[in-house]
Structure 1
Amino acid sequence: MKCKLHRVFPLLLVTAAFSLPSGRPYPNGDGLHQAAFQVHGVSEESFLEWELPPDPNSTHHLIFDSVSGFLQRWPNTFRRNGHSIVPAVIPTGTVLYHGRDDNHVPDVPEWFAFDFEHAFLFGVSTCYVMSVQAKRDLRLLYFDGASAAKMKDGPMDTQDFVAWRKPRPDKHFSERERINALCDWGKPFGVDGFVRMEFHFEVMICDVLDGLEVVTLLDLIPKNVTAPYDRPLVDPPPRPPSRPAPPPVVPPAGWRGSLPGFGRIRFEAHVAGGWHDLAPGETRVQLDYTGLITFYDPALSSLVEARQGKDKSNYRLKGLSAADTARVHAELQSVLTRKQGTGSSVDWGSIARVVVERYADRLEHLRSLLSPNATFKDAAEQAFTARSLLVVMLAPYMTIVDVPQRLPASANVSWLAPVVHRCATTQTSRIPLGMLTPQEVLIHAAVENTLREICRRLALLWVQFFDVEEADDAMAAEVIEEGHRHIDELMNWLGWSLWVRCEPACGLGENCYLPSWPFLKGDDPYDMTPRCIIPEEAVRE
């Protein structure tokens, strides 16, 4: 059987030295990922024994989930504690916004918003908003997750790791110290700033006068910060003791009627963040996947132990050993100093989204069809309906010879090995490994191994549903129960944020909300139950 499989679908076999097809060693092997494909990739044996589950300590699906959600607010709100650092560029001509209390152009590192609504929150008794335009490409680092959430238990870990080599929960409000430390660290590498996210994306710019040109600097209508209103997003962040309360707001001469209410302004800033909830996300930042640094790298063994027994939402960098800290800092330095243009031009973000788009809705639909609460006249009809969707999902990979030699189909499942192989590798098998950086090799392996588990589970279902139409009602019910278990376990393993949403969908003028700093609604900021919020509740004055 092995010889036949070699002939039908040859695999790209990579040597233990991680060589180019010519046998020459990989030119960009910067220490962390030698032999990476052999160690982390999908091996030939994994398809010959395709029914075996993934290693329980595998992080491929976690890397995949990070990559598929980069620069999208919803998945990064759902998983606050980011684990990735990615080189990025804000292109020439991009407009950013900065709100402040005076009309000075800052000559120190400062925070900029991508949308006016976010910047308009800042400035109180006077409200100046400056719009600036990038006069050259700005070189940045992107921290995924809700990396601007001033919380002690993980969201700021990645940037603190860069600034101070360890998480600093004691400094979660020390933003001026943090931006200065990051900019001091990044200056030798030509880093202009850092991209983060709270309820919206923002940019920390190290030298405003260098890469930006002022377009406008306007003294805008002041906000009425003292008007009473019910807050669906509860209290604003605590005011530092050194900052005095704002003076009373005086309307401009000749103004009639009420001033803009702070509650409504806050709501609209949250709405603007929602413009970037899902793909394509915040498009004004362009990521360089060839330099992705991920703390889900399985080579970081100290974090494997730290994740044991924890929910994904509670994974963080606490527990990273000194040795692993040193090797990631060395990898980050290597990425930022190597020759421009190193690596491939593969759009890994799009590849990941293709996978999510293909399977997210169908897996959810299949789970609903197999649910004990599904409405069918009998188990036979339910099994037939689920089987038809299963065929749709596997059809691109099943040929006329991919059928069992004898029944029951489960007697020997080797007949499904080619189907699982095609299903798992179609997106990646012809990407030349020699053109990838070690960081891209991790993404390549993450895509293949995530797909392998999706395809493995679907194939296990197909074994059961292959001849279910000939089964009696009792056997069909048993197959349905087993199928529901498989899909439920698969979806829990994947943990995609697309399956977390407001149901029923929010109406016009409403906004679907997940707890995001500083708007942590309710007693439990970790209750990720989405809910609809409406502006009328925020501006009832």
Structure 2
Amino acid sequence: MSENTEHRADITIHRLRPVGHTIVPGTIPVGTLLYHGSLAGPHLPTALDWVSVEPDHSIGFCHGSIETGCWHLTLKVTRPMKVLYFDGSSAAKIPEGTMDTQDLVAWSKMKPEWVANEEQRIMDLCKWGQRYGVNGFVRMEMNFEVMICDFTSHTEVASFLNLENTRLIPGAPTDPPEDLNTVHYYYELMHSASRREMYPGETRIVLDFSGLVSFYDTALVPSLVPRRVGLERWDHRVQGISSEDIERVQDRLAQALTRPPVTTSGIDWKTVLRVVVDRYASRLEMMQSMFGHAQQVQRRLRTVLLPYTVFAALPPNTSLTANATNSWAAPVFRECATSHTASIAAHGTTLMPSERLLLQAVQETTREICRVVTKMWASGMMTGVDPLYPPEQSPEADHIRTLIGEWKEDVTQLMSWLDWSAWVKCRPACGFEEMCYLPTWPIGFPGDEPPFQAQRDSASLWPDPNTGEWKRPQPKCIRRLEPYGF
């Protein structure tokens, strides 16, 4: 497997892979609403500041006394806002690498001692972005936020409301809760954020995948390849990148941010990636649950490959058990492996470097899926479990058990390699009074200042820093109604 196929036709869940490895140019379209909880009264921020894409998020920063209430600003984007998106939980102020890519853009090196120095970070990022016309930087905190460089250039005030004070206790709620209103707010904030976990994700920020810069691009960033040897995906970091690779990344970003739009191919890469996931994700998941029924699995394999099963590739019915290999199925594999990419590959030199990287990722992803699925289908044909091609004699039970064992191993390894976010879900599904929650910074994460602090016990909502759960979060059903908890 190639390092630069880590995305494998899927954009990672920000909470699931906190340490991001991708930077993507984007645009916030005209008419988009952005929100800001004011700390200083009804005054439009004149300095650099943050806005959220959900009012549920920004309302937590709307502070004021019970007597005077608080001020909540809604902004309307008046002309397309040029932004740069850092993937992962890129607003998480923890020292394990969530801000590596921002460090490289702002300072051309890692500054772990500045992990909480947000004022300097936004100042230097905006200073860097001036030369490219970048007006904001998108990150994931509890939900998506935008670091705004100039509140007057691309937005206007839609409303500035004096709201009832939320009366939230500063900092995160504790177990057991000290204030039910505070706990309720945090749970509803988690629910608001959870709506962006699955496709189509956050649609109010339009990413330009033709300008994507990936730190898994081995041609662009070769120095990180040896640093990942033997490490799980969770433990990959950008820290350790060479100075030469930093220069290449910055040059690639500059090219992506300054090229005219007419130089792009016009390919909708988000849809290309999604079509692959939609075609295979649920079917592979279903096969994984049906290994006790060989004919049912074979039917699903046949369905997946039906658009590629050229008639000339089928072996004669009388020779199914006589064939020693599955070479007869090679044409089926070739059609399957190239179906999503052949027309794009024909663009050749018109593709941008980022697009060629995406094309390679889709090619290698579909090739591996089709290799495994075609192998399984052909083995089913040879064993005699295909309901459309029954053998003259029923296959022996031992042969079927061996086949099912091979299938199970094939699908398990394939799904592990793909590691798609479509399979990150609560099992069994949550009840209507619950939500499926993936632990997310800052609520309950380790740290030495609010809102990090939280008591933990065996039934806690919060990630356990001693087991590394914050780095390997797993979805869990939690109640949205009192009493809160599991």
**Coarse TM-score class (shorter-chain normalised):** 0.7 to 0.9
Query: Match of 1:484?
Result: 408
Query: Match of 1:450?
Result: 365
Mapped pair 1:322 → 2:264: no
Measured in 2, the distance between the counterparts of 1:214 and 1:410 equals 73
CA 1:510 to 1:314, structure 2 compared with 1: closer, same or farther past 3 Å? same
CA 1:186 to 1:227, structure 2 compared with 1: closer, same or farther past 3 Å? closer
Mapped pair 1:101 → 2:42: no
Mapped pair 1:332 → 2:270: no
Determine if contact 2:18/2:471 at 8 Å carries over to the other structure.
no
Q: How far did residue 533 of structure 1 move?
A: 1.9
What letter is aligned with 1:62? E
Q: How far did residue 452 of structure 1 move?
A: 0.3
CA 1:393 to 1:265, structure 2 compared with 1: closer, same or farther past 3 Å? same
CA 1:227 to 1:292, structure 2 compared with 1: closer, same or farther past 3 Å? closer
CA displacement, residues 10-52 of structure 1 (integer Å, 9 cap, x when unaligned): xxxxxxxxxxxxxxxxxxxxxxxxxxxxxxxxxxxxxxxxxxx
What letter is aligned with 1:289? F
Structure 1 gaps, min length 5: 1-54, 236-258, 375-381
CA 1:264 to 1:326, structure 2 compared with 1: closer, same or farther past 3 Å? same
CA displacement, residues 330-354 of structure 1 (integer Å, 9 cap, x when unaligned): 1111111222321111111111111
Q: 2:343 aligns with which of 398, 413, 430?
A: 430
Mapped pair 1:83 → 2:7: no
Query: Match of 1:522?
Result: 463
What letter is aligned with 1:91? P
Shifted more, 398-407 versus 513-522: the winner is 398-407
Query: Match of 2:96?
Result: 153
CA 1:400 to 1:339, structure 2 compared with 1: closer, same or farther past 3 Å? same
Query: Match of 2:150?
Result: 207
Q: How far did residue 270 of structure 1 move?
A: 1.6
Measured in 1, the distance between the counterparts of 2:207 and 2:416 equals 28
Structure 1 segment 129-278 matched on structure 2, within 5 A: 129-226=72-169, 231=174, 261-278=181-198
CA 1:413 to 1:96, structure 2 compared with 1: closer, same or farther past 3 Å? same
Measured in 1, the distance between the counterparts of 2:20 and 2:358 equals 16
Compute the TM-score of the two structures, normalised by the length of structure 1.
Answer: 0.78
CA 1:229 to 1:284, structure 2 compared with 1: closer, same or farther past 3 Å? closer
Mapped pair 1:282 → 2:202: yes
Mapped pair 1:388 → 2:299: yes
What letter is aligned with 1:105? L
Measured in 2, the distance between the counterparts of 1:232 and 1:453 equals 46
Q: 1:366 aligns with which of 280, 287, 291?
A: 287
Q: How far did residue 69 of structure 1 move?
A: 2.4
Measured in 2, the distance between the counterparts of 1:417 and 1:471 equals 24
CA 1:444 to 1:158, structure 2 compared with 1: closer, same or farther past 3 Å? same
Measured in 2, the distance between the counterparts of 1:471 and 1:345 equals 51
Query: Match of 2:55?
Result: 116
Query: Match of 1:309?
Result: 230
CA 1:154 to 1:260, structure 2 compared with 1: closer, same or farther past 3 Å? same
Question: Secondary structure, in 3 states, of the residue corresponding to 2:26?
Answer: strand
CA displacement, residues 487-532 of structure 1 (integer Å, 9 cap, x when unaligned): 1111111111221211222222422111110124132323422112
Query: Match of 2:455?
Result: none
Q: 2:11 aligns with which of 56, 65, 69?
A: 69
RCO higher in structure (CA 8 A, sep ≥6): 1
Q: How far did residue 80 of structure 1 move?
A: 1.2
What letter is aligned with 1:147? S
Measured in 2, the distance between the counterparts of 1:427 and 1:233 equals 52
Q: 2:313 aligns with which of 399, 402, 416?
A: 402
Question: Secondary structure, in 3 states, of the residue corresponding to 2:14?
Answer: helix
Q: How far did residue 180 of structure 1 move?
A: 0.8
Aligned residue pairs, count: 445
What letter is aligned with 1:502? C
Query: Match of 1:354?
Result: 275
Determine if contact 2:51/2:147 at 8 Å carries over to the other structure.
yes
What letter is aligned with 1:180? M
Question: Secondary structure, in 3 states, of the residue corresponding to 1:96?
Answer: strand
Q: RMSD of the TM alignment (CA)?
A: 2.4
Measured in 2, the distance between the counterparts of 1:531 and 1:508 equals 14
Query: Match of 2:430?
Result: 506
Structure 2 gaps, min length 5: 386-393, 445-461
Shifted more, 408-417 versus 334-343: the winner is 408-417
Question: Secondary structure, in 3 states, of the residue corresponding to 2:84?
Answer: strand
What letter is aligned with 2:260? K
Compute the TM-score of the two structures, normalised by the length of structure 2.
Answer: 0.86
Q: How far did residue 293 of structure 1 move?
A: 0.7
